[in-house]
C-alpha cells in the first residue's frame, strides 16, 4: 500500500509542478532517489508519466488523459441521463438503469425507479456479467472484435437455466442486437427478472453506454419486451443526441 500511495503522490506532484526531476520528486516524497526512480519507471511503463530526455525531467503522460477521459465520459453520461431515466421510469413504471463498460463487466452508474418497482433491487454501482444482462449484451455486441473475442474465449458462467453459455447462440444474439438496435434478457441473470437495453452513443457514433428497463417477469413478460424496446430506443436516441451524436 505504501508503494501505491507514493505512486499517487508522484502523479500529484507532477500535476502541481508540470515537470519535475528525480531529485525533486525524491525530496517531496522524503525517499531516496533510487526509490523515486523505481516509482517513475513503473509509471512510465504504464504511460502515466513521460520523460523529457534532454532535460531529464518527468511530466504526466498520455495514460492520465485516457483515464481522465474515461472518467469524464462517465460523469457526462451520468449527468445527462438523470432526467431521461426519471422520465422513462415514470412512463413504464419499472427500473431504468444507465450502464457503462468496466473491463469485463457492465456497471450501473445511474438508476431511476418507476411506481411499480418499489421493491426492486438496487442496481446502482453493481457490476453485472456481459453475457447475462441486456446492457452487457449491447456493450459486448459493440466491442471491437479483439475485445469481444477476449470475453467469449472464457468459460461463461451460468446463473440460471436460461443463461446463454453456448458461444454460437450468444454470437447470434449479439448479431441480432446490432441489427435491431436492442437486446433482451429473459431470466438469464436471475429467475423472474427480465430486461431490455439499447445503446447510448458518443459524438463519433461509438457506444459509450446503455439504457435499460428491467422488472419482474410477471410484469415484463416476453410479449411486452418489444414494446418496451421501442420506448428504450427512443430514450437512448435522445441521450445519444445529448452526448453529441447526430442521428
> What is the per-residue pLDDT for 89?
92
pLDDT at 75 over 70: no
Examine the fold and report which residue of 18, 42, 72 is the final residue of a domain before the chain moves on: 72
Same domain, 209 and 238: yes
Indicate the number of domains in the chain. 2
pLDDT band at residue 221 using 50, 70 and 90 as cut-offs = very high
Do 157 and 91 belong to one domain? Answer: yes
At 90-135, the pLDDT tens digits run 999 999 999 999 888 999 988 988 887 655 567 777 889 999 999 9
Residue 45 pLDDT class (50, 70, 90 cuts)? confident
For the chain, the average pLDDT equals 87
In the chain the beta strands, taken as DSSP E runs, fall at 49-52, 57-60, 95-102, 105-112, 127-129, 183-186, 193-201, 207-216
CATH of the domain at 40: 1.10.10.10
Which H/E stretch holds residue 232? helix 225-242
Q: Among 10-19, 21-30, 32-41, 119-128, which is the least confidently predicted range? A: 119-128
Same domain, 138 and 36: no
Domain boundary among 25, 41, 72: 72
* 131 and 222 together in one domain: yes
**In contact, 75 and 98? CB cutoff 8 Å:** no
Tell me: do 95 and 66 sit in the same domain. Answer: no
pLDDT of amino acid 35? 86
Residue 110 belongs to domain with CATH number: 3.30.450.40
* 205 shares a domain with 100: yes
What pTM did the predictor assign? 0.71
Q: In this structure, are 18 and 98 located in the same domain?
A: no
Answer with the one of 53, 72, 91 that is the final residue of a domain. 72
Q: Which neighbouring-strand residues pair with 49?
A: 60
Pair 13, 58 in one domain: yes
Examine the pLDDT at 4 and tell me if it is beyond 90: no
Same domain membership, residue 30 and residue 145: no
User: What does the alpha-carbon distance between residue 236 and residue 211 come to, in Å, rounded to a whole number?
Assistant: 6
- The answer to whether 137 touches 130, Cβ cutoff 8 Å, is yes
Q: Tell me which residue has cell 430514450.
A: 235
pLDDT band at 73 (very low <50, low <70, confident <90, very high): low
Domain encompassing residue 114: 75-243
Residues 67 and 112 reside in one and the same domain: no
pLDDT tens track for 130-189: 999 999 999 999 999 998 998 899 899 999 999 999 999 999 999 999 999 999 999 999
**Is the same domain home to 6 and 80?**
no
pLDDT band of residue 18 (cuts 50, 70, 90) is confident
Same domain, 131 and 203: yes
Amino acid at each position: 500500500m505504501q508503494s501505491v500511495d507514493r505512486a499517487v503522490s508522484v502523479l500529484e506532484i507532477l500535476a502541481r509542478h508540470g515537470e519535475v526531476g528525480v531529485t525533486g520528486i525524491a525530496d517531496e516524497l522524503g525517499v531516496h532517489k533510487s526509490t523515486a526512480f523505481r516509482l517513475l519507471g513503473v509509471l512510465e511503463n504504464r504511460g502515466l508519466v513521460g520523460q523529457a530526455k534532454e532535460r531529464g525531467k518527468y511530466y504526466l503522460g498520455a495514460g492520465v488523459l485516457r483515464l481522465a477521459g474515461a472518467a469524464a465520459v462517465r460523469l457526462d453520461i451520468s449527468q445527462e441521463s438523470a432526467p431521461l431515466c426519471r422520465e422513462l421510469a415514470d412512463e413504464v413504471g419499472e427500473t431504468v438503469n444507465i450502464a457503462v463498460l468496466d473491463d469485463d463487466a457492465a456497471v450501473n452508474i445511474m438508476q431511476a425507479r418507476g411506481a411499480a418497482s418499489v421493491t426492486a433491487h438496487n442496481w446502482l454501482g453493481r457490476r453485472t456479467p456481459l453475457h447475462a444482462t441486456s446492457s452487457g449484451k449491447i456493450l459486448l455486441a459493440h466491442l471491437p472484435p479483439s475485445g469481444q473475442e477476449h470475453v467469449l474465449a472464457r468459460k461463461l458462467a451460468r446463473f440460471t437455466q436460461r443463461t446463454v453459455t453456448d458461444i454460437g447462440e450468444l454470437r447470434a444474439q449479439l448479431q441480432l442486437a446490432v441489427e435491431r438496435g436492442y437486446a433482451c434478457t429473459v431470466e438469464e441473470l436471475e429467475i423472474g427478472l427480465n430486461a431490455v437495453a439499447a445503446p447510448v452513443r458518443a459524438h463519433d457514433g461509438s457506444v459509450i453506454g446503455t439504457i435499460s428497463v428491467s422488472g419482474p417477469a410477471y410484469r415484463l413478460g416476453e410479449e411486452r419486451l418489444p414494446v418496451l424496446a421501442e420506448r428504450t430506443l427512443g430514450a437512448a436516441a435522445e441521450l445519444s443526441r445529448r452526448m453529441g451524436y447526430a442521428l
